[in-house]
């Protein structure tokens, strides 16, 4: 026979009133405490778990061409004996995904025997349009910085870590930098500078292998071995950074770095 209170219990149960129905006591540590519920609110039924969103398609891997024009072999690059030969060998390069997106290949320019070599990150919009390094706003400032140490743009050499414009002027990926680095190293071998000035963190990291923050290391001499020769490296701020942080301190820091680089280059030349 049914207990006399059973019907009443069933009704309360149905209304969601808890506390009258005994449930087994759980071990305290086994689970986090259950969220408290208002006795007059019926527990929300569990919602159906939505099906997982279909996985985003991985981006298509870039497949570089295998021909010597699209992907110049290292032996071809190493065999070049002038900057013009090097440029002719590599200007059709498609070795990384930046190649197909460029308008113009930005090889670099300046005195082919410059004692001072400036290395930036990569071409921006203006450089991509003109095929020349540092010709936009940052370039204007770089020219002034070079002028402030008593030199003209034509007396130094200016190059970049990558020779094709990264989309939206983003930092080149390590793969893109790596694909271009052999060209820059051969370019440096052919120029034979006494000092390299790296502009910003990217050339310092990719060419010299120093990954510390530029604010920490600017003004401190580093070295890079290229073609069996140790070349002193002076890290300084990128002109685009100077334009954003146009304070006397930042401009003075860059001027001091460039002055130190020029003094070293003069000393190396016995001037
Ligand atoms: N920024 C760079 O790093 N290089 C250029 O050539 C222009 C802007």
The residues spanned by each domain of the chain are: 74-270
Ligand 1 lining (C-beta closer than 6 Å): 120-124, 127, 133-134, 138, 160
The matching CATH number, chosen from 3.30.70.1170, 3.40.470.10, 3.40.640.10, 3.30.70.20, for 74-270 is 3.40.470.10
Task: Give the position, in ligand 1's atom list, of the atom nearest the Cα of 238.
Answer: 3
CB contact at 8 A, 156 and 146:
yes
* Confidence bin at 57 (pLDDT 50/70/90): confident
> How remote is the CA of residue 234 from the centroid of ligand 1, in Å?
17
pLDDT tens-digit profile of 192-239? Answer: 999 999 999 999 999 999 999 999 999 999 999 999 999 999 999 999
What is the pTM for the complete model shown?
0.80
* Confidence bin at 52 (pLDDT 50/70/90): confident
> How remote is the CA of residue 138 from the centroid of ligand 1, in Å?
7
> How remote is the CA of residue 217 from the centroid of ligand 1, in Å?
20
Task: Give the position, in ligand 1's atom list, of the atom nearest the Cα of 239.
Answer: 1
Phi-psi region of 201 (alpha: psi -120 to 50; beta: other; left: phi over 0): alpha
Predicted pLDDT of residue 17: 37
Q: Please check the confidence at residue 90 and state whether its pLDDT lies above 70.
A: yes
| Residue owning the nearest CA to atom 7 of ligand 1 | 134
* Confidence bin at 32 (pLDDT 50/70/90): very low
> How remote is the CA of residue 53 from the centroid of ligand 1, in Å?
41
Task: Give the position, in ligand 1's atom list, of the atom nearest the Cα of 138.
Answer: 8
Q: Helices (DSSP H) in the chain: which residue ranges?
A: 6-15, 74-78, 83-90, 125-130, 137-148, 174-191, 201-203, 214-217, 239-244, 248-268
> How remote is the CA of residue 220 from the centroid of ligand 1, in Å?
22
Q: What is the bridge-based pairing of β-strands 222-226 and 116-120? A: unpaired
Q: Please check the confidence at residue 30 and state whether its pLDDT lies above 60.
A: no
* Confidence bin at 59 (pLDDT 50/70/90): confident
Predicted pLDDT of residue 54: 79
Q: What is the bridge-based pairing of β-strands 109-110 and 195-199? A: unpaired
The mean pLDDT of the chain is 87
Predicted pLDDT of residue 18: 38
Q: What percent of the chain has pLDDT over 70?
A: 83
């Amino acid at each position: 026979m049914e207990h006399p209170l059973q019907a009443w219990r069933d009704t309360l149960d149905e209304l969601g009133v808890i506390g009258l129905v005994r449930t087994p006591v759980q071990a305290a540590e086994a689970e986090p405490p259950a969220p408290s519920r208002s006795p007059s609110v019926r527990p929300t039924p569990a919602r159906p778990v939505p099906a997982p969103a279909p996985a985003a398609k991985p981006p298509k891997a870039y497949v570089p061409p295998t021909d010597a024009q699209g992907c110049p072999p290292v032996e071809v690059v190493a065999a070049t004996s002038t900057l013009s030969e090097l440029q002719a060998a590599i200007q059709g390069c498609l070795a990384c995904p930046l190649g197909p997106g460029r308008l113009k290949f930005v090889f670099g320019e300046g005195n082919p025997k410059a004692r001072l070599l400036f290395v930036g990150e990569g071409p921006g919009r203006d450089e991509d349009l003109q095929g020349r390094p540092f010709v936009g706003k940052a370039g204007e400032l770089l020219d002034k910085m070079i002028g402030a140490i008593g030199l003209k743009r034509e007396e130094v050499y200016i190059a970049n870590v990558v020779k094709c414009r990264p989309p939206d002027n983003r930092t080149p990926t390590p793969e893109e930098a790596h694909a271009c680095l052999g060209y820059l190293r051969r370019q440096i071998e052919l120029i034979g500078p006494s000092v390299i000035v790296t502009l910003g963190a990217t050339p310092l990291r990719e060419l010299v292998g120093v990954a510390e923050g530029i604010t920490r290391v600017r003004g401190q001499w580093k070295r890079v071995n290229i073609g069996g020769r140790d070349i002193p490296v002076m890290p300084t701020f990128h002109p685009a950074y100077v334009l954003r942080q146009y304070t006397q301190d930042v401009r003075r820091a860059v001027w001091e770095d460039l002055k130190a680089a020029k003094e070293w280059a003069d000393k190396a030349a016995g001037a």
